[in-house]
Structures are given as structure tokens and as C-alpha cells.
Amino acid sequence: MAEIADLRDCALSGLFYGGRAGQKEGILINGEPWIAKYPRTTRDLVGKHLPSYTSSPVSEYLGSHIYGLLGIPVHETMLGYRAGKIVCACRDFTFPNARLFEFKEIKNALSDDDAGFSSAPSDGEVILLGDVLAAIETSDLLRRVPGARERFWDMFVVDAFIKNPDRNNGNWGVLMTAPMAYELAPVYDMGSSLFSKRSPSVAARRL
């Protein structure tokens, strides 16, 4: 049973975070920035018999720990209670001096004249498998970062295992830790895994 931390009195960090899966709030835990991820309301989602809110904070926490148990570098998470809701707190792995570059930004730097793509690589949002692999092989940066191709396939397999349909080009990438020095970012963003938008009865039927 996971321990649920009391995050009600955590101060705001003054940092802000993007994404479409629900409210994200920058908070301080022991003086370091974390991201409090709240459950998203399902009122704008399509489907029958939806719960009032997604279980994305719990899915984020469990999915992250499954990655960790498999020995794949993953962001640090904890379950917490804040503003009357169960949230997943995710340590900001860019603190203090790293910068995250998402795969779509790296792909967007490639020339539309490069061979091997079904669509223009400057459209960073396209997630065709062949185009993703072509970008990994074409990008000078990704060829220099050890294990980029292997990390993609690790995520491909584990996301299928935990039923995570949301591994898009914006939720994996590399960290710049010093000028022109790069390494793979830990795996992050598992909030859509483990049937987070469905009721327990629907999840049980599909399993």
C-alpha cells in the first residue's frame, strides 16, 4: 500500500507546466520543485459510464514504479493529498540547471528534404512509427545520445504492457545538462495508463 503524503501546506514554486491531462501545479517539497498532477474531470471526454474524474494520478504513480521495477530510468513520484484530491507529485528532473528538449522539438529541427519520412519531419506532432525511427536515425543529436533507439523501444513495449496510449512526441526527450551536453531524460508521463479514464468494471471487462 503506497503512503499518501500530506501536501496541503506545500508552497507554490512559481513554476508552470504544460500538458492536456489535467491541472498541474508547481509546488516545493523540501525546498525543491515538484509538479502536483491533479485528476482531470471527464466532463469533456467521449464515452459511456465514465467516472467523474480520471484516476490519472494513481496511474502516473503505478506506471512510473513499473518502469522503475524493470530497471528503466524514470522520474521520481509520490502520491499526495492536496486541495481535497489525491495527486501525483512528480519531482522536476530539470532542477536545478537542466533543460528538457522534447522529441518533437528535435524532430522539428530536421530538414523536410531528408529521406525516409512519410510526412515532413518539421511536423513534430506526427507519430508514425517509421517517421519516429527515421528521426532517431537522422538526428545528429539523437545519434550522439547513448541508448536513444533502445529507450524508444523500451517505452514502446512497457507502454503496451501498462496500456498507455499517450506516448506522443511531446512526452519523451533529452536533457541538456550543460551547453551542448545531452543525456536521455528519465521516462515520464504515464497518467493515461492502466485504464485511467474508465471505471473499474470496464477495466476488469477489458482485462
Verify that 69 and 9 share a domain, yes or no: yes
Burial of 91 (0-12, 13-18, 19+ CB in 10 A): middle
Residue 204 within a domain: no
Amino acid 22: pLDDT: 79
CATH of the domain at 65: 3.30.200.120
Strand order in the sheet with 99-102: 99-102, 173-178, 181-184
Give the range of the structural domain holding residue 9, as residue numbers without chain letter. 4-93
Tell me: do 110 and 164 sit in the same domain. Answer: yes
Residue 111 within a domain: yes
Q: pLDDT value at position 52?
A: 65
What confidence score (pLDDT) does residue 198 get?
67
Cα angle 82, 38, 154; round to 5? 125
The 8-class DSSP code of residue 41 comes to: B
Of the candidates 68, 63, 76, which has an alpha carbon nearest to the alpha carbon of residue 160?
63
Is residue 86 within 8 A of residue 4, CB to CB? The reply is yes
Work out the number of other CB atoms within 10 angstroms of the CB of residue 64. Answer: 26
What's the CATH code of the domain at 148?
1.10.1070.20
pLDDT, mean of each 10-residue run, the chain (207 residues): 89 90 91 94 67 81 97 98 95 96 95 92 89 95 96 97 92 95 96 77 68
Q: What is the pLDDT of residue 1?
A: 59
Q: What is the pLDDT of residue 48?
A: 61
Asked if 114 and 130 touch (Cβ cutoff 8 Å), the reply is no
DSSP assignment, residue 186?
Answer: P
pLDDT for residue 20: 72
What are the helix and strand counts (H, E) for the chain? 6, 8
C-alpha cell at 68: 522503475
The number of folded domains in the chain is 2
Which pLDDT score, from 0 to 100, does residue 202 have?
67
9 and 81 both lie in a single domain: yes
Task: Say if 207 falls within a structural domain.
Answer: no
Q: What is the pLDDT of residue 124?
A: 84
Grouping H, G, I as helix, E, B as strand and the rest as coil, residue 181 is: strand
